[in-house]
């Protein structure tokens, strides 16, 4: 009885193609069109895809994605602030929104219909006789105020600080965690302004969030063992300006500083084993505290 001659292996994905090359993972024969270069030999498409699924994506020291090194969130926030400044000037129809107004060097430039609509305002009667403000249900002001500015100089100072601080923090925290830090710091500053400012006093600006970023840079830097001594004098100078220059919201800046620091502590010191859970829970608790403060102030103004 004669033996059958050995058959030439064929590609498992293309049965009509003969090949002597095999996948180094599953040992199936693969043709040149199916070969994917590996560290050793070649792999088939299915094994390559399986390997990609099994490889954990790179993370920062605080659990964030490495896409933060591109600074997309920082750039997006700056773009949004600039866009709203353009819209604010356009809404003013020839007023003093760009460089006019009171304050140090035009820092607190003139208000516009857009800033009137979106600034932090407790409760006030508008010129047309209507009542408005956060206590009247306009809670959106607590968010919109951190993206609006009184004048171009005000905008430029805040955007320069955001550009310097934001890129470093976003690279270390990742886009999502940095975005949460920015929003909570800004919201915390606006809630503080709502709590401690006169009910008919309007405030706006990204400086609430920026002060939170100052605190976060110090906390994150210390956690990573970096020298933060150069940041402290800049923060002190900004605090001196806050306390001495007329027209600046002291509660807003200090509130942003405090709540930015709280969120940074949560992000930096969450235990590694349950890092994401603790970070999300910590952020949620801060938001609940802010909500309670808003409800308290609202009840106080309406009583």
Q: What is the pLDDT of residues 228-261, one digit of tens each?
A: 878 888 888 888 878 777 778 899 999 999 999 9
Q: What is the CATH number of domain 68-302?
A: 1.20.1540.10
* Whether residue 276 has pLDDT greater than 80: yes
Mean pLDDT score of the chain, rounded to an integer? 86
What is the rounded CA–CA span in Å between residue 253 and residue 256? 5
- Tokens (6 digits) for 67: 């896409």
pLDDT at position 193, please? 96
Is the separation of the CB atoms in 165 and 154 below 8 Å? no
* Domain boundaries for CATH 1.20.1540.10 within the chain: 68-302
Q: What is the pTM of this model?
A: 0.78
β pairing state of 36-37 and 42-43: antiparallel
Residues belonging to the active site: 207, 253
């Amino acid at each position: 009885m004669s033996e059958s001659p050995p058959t030439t292996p064929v590609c498992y994905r293309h049965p009509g193609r003969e090949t002597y090359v095999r996948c180094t993972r599953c040992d199936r024969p693969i043709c040149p069109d199916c070969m994917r270069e590996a560290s050793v030999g070649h792999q088939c498409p299915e094994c390559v895809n399986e390997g990609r699924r099994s490889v954990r994506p790179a993370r920062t020291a605080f659990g964030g994605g490495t896409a933060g090194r591109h600074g997309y969130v920082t750039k997006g926030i700056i773009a949004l602030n600039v866009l709203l400044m353009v819209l604010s000037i356009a809404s003013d129809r020839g007023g003093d929104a760009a460089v006019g107004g009171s304050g140090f060097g035009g820092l607190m430039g003139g208000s516009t219909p857009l800033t009137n609509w979106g600034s932090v305002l407790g409760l006030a009667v508008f010129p047309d006789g209507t009542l408005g403000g956060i206590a009247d249900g306009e809670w959106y002001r607590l968010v919109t105020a951190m993206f609006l500015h009184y004048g171009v100089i005000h905008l430029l100072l805040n955007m320069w600080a955001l550009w310097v601080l934001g890129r470093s923090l976003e690279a270390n925290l990742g886009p999502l965690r940095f975005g949460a830090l920015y929003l909570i710091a800004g919201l915390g500053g606006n809630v503080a302004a709502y709590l401690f400012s006169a009910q008919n006093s309007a405030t706006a600006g990204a400086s609430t969030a920026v002060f939170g970023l100052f605190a976060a840079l110090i906390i994150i830097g210390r956690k990573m063992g970096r020298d933060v001594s150069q940041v402290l004098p800049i923060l002190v100078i900004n605090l001196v300006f806050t306390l001495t220059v007329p027209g600046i919201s002291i509660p807003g800046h200090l509130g942003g500083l405090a709540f930015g620091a709280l969120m940074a502590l949560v992000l930096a010191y969450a235990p590694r084993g349950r890092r994401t859970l603790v970070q999300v829970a910590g952020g949620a608790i801060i938001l609940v505290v802010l909500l309670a403060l808003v409800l308290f102030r609202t009840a106080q103004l309406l009583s």
